[in-house]
Amino acid sequence: MVALSGGVDSSVAAYLLKKQGFHVEGVYIHVWSAEDYLSDCPWQEDIKIAAEAAEVIGIRFRSIHLEDEYKSRVVEYMVEGYSAGVTPNPDVMCNQEIKFGVFLKWAMQEGAEYVATGHYARNELGITDYELRKGLDKNKDQSYFLYTLTQDKLAKILFPIGEYTKPTVRKIAKKALLPNWNRKDSQGICFIGKVELPKFLQNYIKPKKGDIITTDGEKIGEHNGIFYYTIGQRHGLHLGSKTGSEVYYIREKRLKDNVIVVAKGENNPLLYSKKITAINVNWISGEEPEFPLAALAKIRYRQSEEICKIEKIDDKRYRVIFAKPQFAVAPGQSIVFYKKEKCLGGGIMES
C-alpha cells in the first residue's frame, strides 16, 4: 500500500511499483478534519488529485481516517513540547507514529506485505540488517526525518523514489500523464501544511508577555509568549529601532521567569556549542555500537553533516562532541547520526 498524499512524489512511487509488477493500492491518510484546519491546507484538493493519479496509474484508491491518532500523537506532542519550552519536531513524530506507526499496522492488517511512501531515502538490505541510506538527490534527502525506524519496520517499507532526483521524478510523472506532475511541493508541518507556527500554537497555548534581554541583561524588547520562539531565531522578535541594524538571535529561553535572552551577531560565540546531550536515541541496526563512536551528525534538516564523537553517559543519555562548534542548539530538536551515506540513528537534543 502506498500512502498517496496528492503530491507528485508519492504518485510516482505508486507508478514505479506498479511497473515493477507489484499489486499496488493507494491510500490517502486523513489526519485533520475540515473544521479543525487552522491554515489553508487543501485536503479536499489533495484527495481529489490523489484519486485522479490512482486512476491514471490503474490502482485501487481509498482513504483512512486517523484524525484522533494524529491529534493525540503529533499535535499534543507539539503542544506539550512548546509548553515545556523546547522545540519539538512534528515531522519526525508524524513518520514514527502515523505513517510508519498506525498506518503501517493498519496496512498489514489489511493484508499488505509492504507500505511505500514518496520519501527521498533508500532502504537497503545489508549483510546482516536493513540499512537506511540517504536519498540519491542530496537536496531532497529525507533520511533525517526517518531515524526512528527500526529493523522490524524497515522490513516492511519501500522507498521507490530514493534512487531518483526530483527533476527525474517530475519527468517520470509527466511521461506517465500523472495529473500532479508539475504540482508544487507541500511545505510546513507534516499533514497540516503551511501555517504560521505562532498562530497555530495560539490555539493551544495562551499568549504571555515577557521581556527580551541581551546577554548583558539589558531589556531591548518584549515577546508575546516564550513558547512561540526557538533557539537561533532572529525573525519575528520585533525589536524595533533601538537595536538599529544589529541582528539578534535567540540564545536562551528562561521558562521560569518568561524571559528570552538574545545575542548579537550570527558569529557570536555564545550562540555556538561543541557538546550536546542526546536522549531517546534510536539505533536503526537494533544494536548499540561501541563507544566512543566516530561519526557524522547534523542538528537540523538543512545542514551538512559535521564530524563528531559520540560517548555514552548512561543508559538514557549520550554526549556528542563536535569537531566544530554548532550554531543554535535547540533542545527538543533531533540530532541524527551518519556513516557516509548510512543513517545510523538519532535522538532528541536535551542540551
Cα–Cα distances in Å, from 118 out to 99, 131, 229? 11, 18, 31
Do residues 189 and 287 share a domain? no
On whether both 149 and 256 belong to a single domain, the answer is: no
Q: Which residue has the higher pLDDT, 192 or 9?
A: 9
Helix and strand numbers (H, E) in the chain are 9, 17
- Supply the Cα-derived Rg of the chain in whole angstroms: 21
As given in the structure block, the three cell numbers for residue 173 are 510523472
Task: Name 2's bridge partners.
Answer: 26, 116
Q: Are residues 109 and 165 in the same domain?
A: yes
Domain holding 219, by residue range, is: 206-264
Q: Which three cell numbers stand for residue 23?
A: 499489486
Residue 190, all three cell numbers: 507534516
Integer Cα distance of 142 and 145 in angstroms: 6
- Three-state SS for 108? helix
81 and 50 together in one domain: yes
Query: Domain check: are 14 and 75 in the same one?
Result: yes
Measured in whole angstroms, how far is the alpha carbon of residue 265 from the centre of its chain?
28
Residues 106 and 215 in one domain: no
82 in Cβ contact with 48 (< 8 Å): no
Query: CB atoms < 10 A from the CB of 339, how many?
Result: 14
Q: Which of 218, 242, 264 is the last residue of a domain?
A: 264
Is residue 224 within 8 Å of 236, Cβ to Cβ? Answer: no
Does position 189 have pLDDT exceeding 70, yes or no?
Answer: no
CA dihedral 230, 283, 74, 305 (to 10 degrees): 40
Question: Is residue 48 domain-resident?
Answer: yes
- What is d(CA 280, CA 213) in angstroms, rounded to the nearest whole number? 32
- For residue 200, what pLDDT band results from cuts at 50, 70 and 90? confident
* Residue that is last in its domain, among 224, 241, 264: 264
pLDDT tens column, 334-345: 999 999 999 999
**What's the domain count of the chain?**
3
Give a yes or no: residue 200 inside a domain.
no
Asked, for residue 168, whether it belongs to a domain, the answer is: yes
Q: Is 35 in the same domain as 121? A: yes
CA–CA dist 165, 168 (Å, integer): 5
In a domain, 10, yes or no: yes
Kindly report, residue by residue over 157-182, the tens digit of the pLDDT. Answer: 999 999 999 999 999 999 999 999 98
Tell me the C-alpha distance between 130 and 134, whole Å.
13
Which residues carry out catalysis?
94, 190
pLDDT at residue number 98: 96
Q: What does the alpha-carbon distance between residue 253 and residue 85 come to, in Å, rounded to a whole number? A: 7
Of 308 and 205, the structure prediction assigns the larger pLDDT to: 308
| Site of grid cell 507508478 | 15
Answer whether residue 88 shows pLDDT above 60: yes
Q: 81-85, 150-154, 194-198, 222-226: which has the highest mean pLDDT?
A: 150-154
Q: Is the pLDDT of residue 193 over 60?
A: no
Strands 306-312 and 317-327: antiparallel
Tell me if 81 is assigned to some domain.
Answer: yes
247, 264, 281 - which closes a domain: 264
On whether both 222 and 307 belong to a single domain, the answer is: no
Q: 201-242: per-residue pLDDT in tens?
A: 888 888 899 999 999 999 999 998 999 899 999 988 888 655
Tens of pLDDT, residues 20-78: 999 999 999 998 765 554 555 567 889 999 999 999 999 999 999 999 999 999 999 99
* Lowest pLDDT segment from 234-238, 261-265, 313-317: 234-238
CATH code at 179? Answer: 3.40.50.620
Domain-located, residue 121 = yes
- Which grid cell is 75? 499535535
Specify whether 57 is located in the same domain as 138.
yes
Mean pLDDT, the chain, integer: 92
C-beta neighbour count of 326 within 10 angstroms: 22
pLDDT, residue 276, reads: 97
CB 11 within 8 A of CB 4: yes
Tell me, yes or no, whether 201 lies in a domain. no
β-pairing, 60-65 vs 25-30, is parallel
- The CATH number linked to 254 is 2.30.30.280
Is the predicted pLDDT of residue 283 greater than 90, yes or no?
Answer: yes
173 and 311 fall within a common domain: no
Question: Which residue, 41, 88, 37, is CA-closest to 67?
Answer: 37
Share of the chain above pLDDT 90, in %: 81
The answer to whether position 334 is within a domain reads yes
Chain segment 91-130, per-residue pLDDT in tens: 999 999 999 999 999 999 999 999 999 999 999 998 889 9
CA distance 142 to 315: 28
| 49 vs 7: CA distance, rounded Å | 8
- Give the residue among 56, 50, 325, 32 at the shortest CA–CA distance from 190: 32
- DSSP state for residue 127 in the 8-state scheme: S
For residues 155 and 104, state if they share a domain.
Answer: yes
- Res. 251: pLDDT tops 90: yes
CA dihedral 33, 36, 37, 38 (to 10 degrees): -170
Whether 172 and 237 map to the same domain: the answer is: no
CATH number for the domain spanning 293: value is 2.40.30.10
Please give the pLDDT value at position 195.
64
Look up the pTM and report it.
0.92
pLDDT value for 198: 76
